[in-house]
Structure 1
């Protein structure tokens, strides 16, 4: 995996796990790889992965069961989707809107393009 310099590696690992939960490749109630396994897979220190897991546990996305492992919490997918939607509407979409204004792209043109992409799906 190629790590970006603009964000700590543990945060990037947490984002990868969250993405897998959102797209349901990691399902609620299922166990996730051990810290050491994921550290080996990503070729990072196990403490970095542990910090990513702890961050997601604090956010109540992952649940730790002592002696058993770490699992995806029930409701994690909905919680993550709501958080990502909030981020999209409050941070990403205003940037797109500002750029569209600078480029002279109307809201009608944007809506038409969205409708076109939706039909192509």
Structure 2
């Protein structure tokens, strides 16, 4: 089980972990990212928290969602992260 810092919302901490996986190439462009249910199982978070993770990453342009298919890493995610530097973290 992941230990979360008490001073930051969990969804932001999980989003940071997914963001790191995108940045280090663990999730290359076009790769499906964990579903809401998978996030719940992996990180022990609530449904609403998982949804906030995906919403935040989508708002940053790092992932996109194909209805009925899931969410995937955007083609330009690495460039977005590089341009934003550490400022992309909440």
Instruction: Using the TM superposition, give the Cα deviation of residue 83 of structure 1 relative to its aligned residue in structure 2, in angstroms.
Output: 1.1
Structure with higher Rg: it is 1
Point out which structure has higher relative CO (alpha carbons under 8 A, 6+ apart): 2
Q: What is residue 80 of structure 2 aligned with on the other side?
A: 79
The two structures, once aligned, show a CA RMSD in angstroms of: 1.1
Q: What is residue 54 of structure 2 aligned with on the other side?
A: 53
Unmatched runs of 5 consecutive residues or more in structure 1: 88-121
Q: Tell me, in whole angstroms, the C-alpha distance in 1 between the residues paired with 2:12 and 2:46.
A: 14
Q: What is residue 14 of structure 2 aligned with on the other side?
A: 13
Instruction: Using the TM superposition, give the Cα deviation of residue 20 of structure 1 relative to its aligned residue in structure 2, in angstroms.
Output: 0.4
Matches within 5 A, 1:25-104: 25-84=26-85, 87=87
Q: What is residue 2 of structure 1 aligned with on the other side?
A: 3
TM-score (norm 1): 0.67
Instruction: Using the TM superposition, give the Cα deviation of residue 67 of structure 1 relative to its aligned residue in structure 2, in angstroms.
Output: 0.6
Instruction: Choose between structure 1 and 2: higher helix proportion.
Output: 1
